[in-house]
Amino acid sequence: MERVCFRLQVRKEKMDEYVRRHAQVWPEMLAALSQTGWHNYSLYLDRNDGTLIGYLETPSLAAAKAGMEKTEINAKWQAEMAEFFVALEGKRPDEGFLQLEEVFHLN
């Protein structure tokens, strides 16, 4: 099982709306994430600067991302979420996150 941690940057002026949207994630999106291998998926937001840290566990991040790529709901969700982030350089949020290196895990 891969443990994946990533970072994105939420626009400061969009933080409240970003949090509201994640309080009401579409049921179809939640089902797609679960079905494609996104487990223990959590997001953490630093309200001081908009740093967003995501964490998930998956058998394969590449397979999980590829599985979501095949769903219509992911394309819709990513299109709606793109406006919330800075520095995506033309990528969707699920393509533009910076994956962090795990340097320690207490097992």
Active site residues: 22
Asked if 7 contacts 82 with a C-beta cutoff of 8 angstroms, the reply is no
3-class SS at 59? coil
Q: Of 55, 53, 57, 45, nearest to 17 (Cα)? A: 45
Q: Of 33, 23, 18, nearest to 74 (Cα)? A: 33
